Chains A and B, each alone.
Chain A
């Protein structure tokens, strides 16, 4: 019995020692092995199917059509964002979101035109995972989901709420819903083509880079409830002609 306990302890010690020397383990990413595999899988899928489709879409579709598609699905997403803003106690964000959806749907031809942004009602993205975070739920470990990509344990749990909160999910007939979802995904991917090319150039370890950016951004979204508002204390920088006049004054800040 004693010998078994000693052997068992030795085995655990070796296993833990192995863990410790297995590399620069990030405490936020205990599932790193699984995540890296998922990341590669998503990457392959992207290379083989999504990126080519997005490239063709970007090259072939007229830009005003792309903008319209982006606006349409953005407007649908804004409904859930407004609800989440209110759930987070962000009344200003919630009401602005509601106004935004109203203006864009009614005056913007069903959401195809983004009149809200021009009118100063900027988009304020809020999802249920963020709401849970604001309510105090810790994010938990970093998780890479198949197809959906970067997430955390909390955000994965919140994902069904986000899917059912997106009213496009209820679109019937089903074939229209699926086609619409595919178009939305391709459009979003197309918007990220330049950035993803740049990412390949400058990231030494793409997995770690994406993870660190995602986790920081997520934390800041929960902390700042979605980031700054256009009119939240931001001042426009004067135009160049006025700027040179300003420069002549001594800087008394």
Chain B
């Protein structure tokens, strides 16, 4: 489980590089994108003193700047909501996507906070040039414990390749949240799910504020 979250974070961190790559992103190969982002996020997390000492706000900022632009949250949310997505109103879809995005941001940050000295290795990409959906496979090596399998599913959009699913240790994020979403919707409908997510995000936000590292 520990590895699962560590790498969920690294995985998302891997999606960063908003500033530098904007123009190149559109024609950059998906595996090159992930490699670049993974290295960047890992190096930033390892090298930043405040992050190493647990400054949650700073980690959140890092995730916001460098990971979020490379993830297609709408697709992730619609996939996780499954058949309920069709039944949702546009307003519900918008709110659900926004809340899920925040939840994922906290997830990534939480895992990124546990990065210490990990290294990443990549498998050569097996895809034909006209593929619009690919899977990039990597694994994270750590000093204590077994290597952690970390795979990404990307889709090609006009704005460049975007991540829409992540696999840690064999479990896909979308598949995992599908069950959670379904049981929440079963209890209180889509609005119930949105409410649960909102409350959870508020709780995580205040926890993050209070978790600022002592200077």
Chain A residues close to B by CB (< 8 Å): 23-24, 26, 67, 70, 122-123, 125, 191-196, 198-199, 201-205, 208-209, 211-213, 216-221, 224, 227-228, 230, 233-237, 240, 243, 247, 251, 253
Contact = CB atoms under 8 A, between A and B. Distances in A.
A236 B147 CA distance: 13
B170 A220 contact: yes
Contacts of B98: none
Contacts of B22: none
A194 B113 CA distance: 10
A195 B1 contact: yes
B178 A195 contact: no
A226 to B, nearest CB: 10
A47 B31 CA distance: 42
Interface in B1-39: 1-6, 24, 27-29, 31-32, 35-36, 38-39
Interface of chain A, main secondary structure? helix
Contact of B114 (A194, A220, A227, A247): A194
Interface stretch (B63-71, B87-95, B115-123, B152-160): B115-123
Contacts of A224: 170
A232 to B, nearest CB: 8
Given A196-B1, A198-B110, A230-B121, A237 B35 contact: yes
A23 B183 contact: yes
Contacts of B123: 228, 233-235
A192 B2 contact: yes
B182 A24 contact: yes
Contacts of B178: 212
B184 A235 contact: no
A204 B110 contact: no
Contacts of A219: 170
B121 A123 contact: no
A236 B184 contact: no
B45 interface: no
Contacts of B27: 251
B186 A24 contact: yes
Contacts of A227: 147, 149, 169-170
Nearest to B176: A212
B1 A204 contact: no
Contacts of B183: 23-24, 204-205, 208
B119 A236 contact: yes
